[in-house]
Amino acid sequence: MPIHEQFLSAVDLETVPLIRTRMLVVGCGIAGLAAALAASRRGPVVMAAKSVFMESNTTYAQGGIAAALAGDDDVDLHIRDTMEAGGGLCDEPAVRVMAEEGRIRCRELIDMGTPFDRVDGELAFTREGAHSRRRILHADGDATGRAITATMLDRVCRTPNIHTLENHFAIDLLHADGVCYGALFLDTKYGRLLRVEASATVVATGGLGQVFRETTNPAAATGDGYALCYRAGATMEDMEFVQFHPTTLYLAGAPRFLVSEAVRGEGAHLVNQDGERFMSRYSKAGELSPRDVVSQGIFKELNRTGDAYVSLDLRHVDPKLIETRFPTIMSVCAEFGLDIRKDPIPVRPAVHYMMGGVRTDLDARTDVKNLYAAGEVACTGVHGANRLASNSLLEGLVYGCRAGMADAADAAPPFPAPTLARSMPPKGARLDVDDLSRSLKALSWRNLGVYRNGIHLAETVETLKAWMRYVLAEQFQMRPGFEVQNMLTVGFLIAGSALARTESRGAHQRSDYPEADPAWARHSCVAIDKDAS
């Protein structure tokens, strides 16, 4: 039956085609791949992706993966650097798990065949902002994420215990009485519903950058996993902490392409339109300060000069090093007439990464039974108020593996009759989804950006409440409609959490509360009203 016909009547889950498995993994980035591989050692796994498997935030990761593997490095130094960057909100046990197990997991990636760059046969490491050592592993120069994804995906596809589903959008989690039993999917290629029931479900859906107008994230990063877990009753933590990458390509008609932090790690200077290095005005560490500090410094400089962008200058860097380390960045910039060996790169900040997310413990458990979260969608406490560069891939690898090794209850089918978080039956979409999406992105960029204030945050909360009153009651037949519902939910969670945190800390900067408040040296939490669900 075509999907629109199904949605024009009440969805009877018993009539939807069913797959049962030990573990369901929703997402195909590094966390989802790690979870699927780990879980396959214990039983059958279904791994579902909303698009094709190579389309994830991991694939677009340039800089690398941080691990204390170099001879002059150790785990305690990595932990210290991470904690210092996190604005006092990193959970030390979670950071230690990531740093210690990260070395093991990275060695497994090497053994799996990941083509990390080498010099004279030895692993090559680079340094990025706020790292005290050169500990960043990279592959194909600036294509680390793509190399890792390809290697892990090849292993997944050759593992008999893993059943893969491309182009399957997770509409909602199936849950009853505080227990998750799987998810309902829309097969976007053929317009069919599919129910996957599982003893354990891992949500590893990546980020939410598309909630904002300016972002480095791919089009698929619409915050689906945050909304899925929130609707199912999971607690969301630190949703106000959205990281802005300080250097994204800023040219008319060009995508907001990320220019890796490793460019500054290899010696690039940030300069204003007069060619003057300016970061020393705002931080002693200059260009190698944590990302929040560099992003804020750039915005302060732009406000001071009235310009629209600053520039990354590599003209003093060895051209051979540039060609070897940054072939992807060179190629993209060349498409727009820039030779980065000779021309400064125009850049400004854009939304890049979410530090907050679904609250988990050290084994990736949420507070919904049999529901786990890993990767960017999860809040393990590793990043605190500001993520240290190249810790994201490491966190996804470590905690994805932990989620996959979960001792989920082997609930025998038939499962209890699960419920959907979305109301049924659908009414049929009447909204201009594209216009709503553009309006949300503009509102978020304007009021939830690098600098925030209480008046605009309160305005955003009320605006999103009004939009949500009619949009969340609407039922759609296609992926874009479901995505915009998820984006509204996520935007509302960010705005409400940002309004509540009356201080400035890490990536959360309030012009009306410009200082950090010791009383706020704690995590923020929000969960749906269980009675209202």
Catalytically active residues, by annotation? 291
Whether 159 and 173 have beta carbons less than 8 Å apart is answered as no
Whether 235 and 359 have beta carbons less than 8 Å apart is answered as yes
Residue 230, phi-psi category: left (phi > 0), alpha (psi -120 to 50), beta (remainder): alpha
- Return the residue matching tokens 């939830």: 448
By three-state DSSP, how is residue 480 classified?
helix
Q: Give the distance from CA 188 to its chain's centroid.
A: 23
- Return the residue matching tokens 């009651």: 473
- Return the residue matching tokens 């010099």: 119
- CA dist 405 and 328 (Å) reads 35
- CA dist 75 and 98 (Å) reads 10
What is the DSSP annotation of 157-217? HT-TTEEEESSEEEEEEEEETTEEEEEEEEETTTTEEEEEEEEEEEE-----GGGSSSBSS
Whether 182 and 196 have beta carbons less than 8 Å apart is answered as yes
With 0-12 / 13-18 / 19 or more C-beta atoms within 10 angstroms meaning exposed / middle / buried, residue 134 is: middle
What SS3 string covers 202-218? EECCCCCHHHCCCECCC
Who contacts 172 (Cβ-Cβ below 8 Å, separation ≥6)? 183, 184, 228, 231, 232, 420, 421, 422
Pair of tokens at residue 301? 């400089």
By three-state DSSP, how is residue 446 classified?
helix
Which residue, 56, 64, 65, is CA-closest to 156? 56
Whether 62 and 328 have beta carbons less than 8 Å apart is answered as yes
Which pairs with CB-CB distance under 8 Å and at least 24 residues apart come from 469-472? 470/431, 471/431, 471/436
- CA dist 156 and 175 (Å) reads 27
Whether 44 and 21 have beta carbons less than 8 Å apart is answered as yes
Residue 240, phi-psi category: left (phi > 0), alpha (psi -120 to 50), beta (remainder): alpha
Residues recorded for the chain: 533
